[in-house]
Amino acid sequence: MNSEENKLLTAFKERMRIFHDEDKNLIQILEKSTAALSERFGFPVETVETGKELILERSRFVYNDKLEEFATAFADELNSFAIAHTLDEVTYESKS
């Protein structure tokens, strides 16, 4: 686990008030959330602070077996993130 993953794990455990050791499961949830969001937006979302927040929130929904509600609950945030950061990626790629 790299330091960025460790920071996400620590943040998630604090947010969810998890004090027992279930790190293996939580790391898996965080990795899958990171992969799903990165695939959705086409770039590594963990490189952006608001992306990390979306990873934590999606992971919270997964942890509580409510993933089907995530897209609806965070529709505005997902759309704003897509507009702000996907355009940044397109602009960056077109300059290269």
DSSP per-residue codes, 10-40: HHHHHHHT--S--HHHHHHHHHHHHHHHHHH
Q: What is the mean pLDDT of residues 61-78?
A: 97
Determine the average pLDDT of the residues in 4-17.
Answer: 91
The whole-model pTM stands at 0.85
Residues of the domain holding 70: 3-95
Q: What is the DSSP string of 35-87?
A: HHHHHHHTS-GGGSHHHHHHHHHHHHHHHTT-GGGHHHHTHHHHHHHIIIIIH
Judged by DSSP in three states, 20 sits in coil
Counted domains in the chain: 1
Q: Is the pLDDT of residue 55 over 70?
A: yes
Q: Are 33 and 25 in contact (CB under 8 A)?
A: no
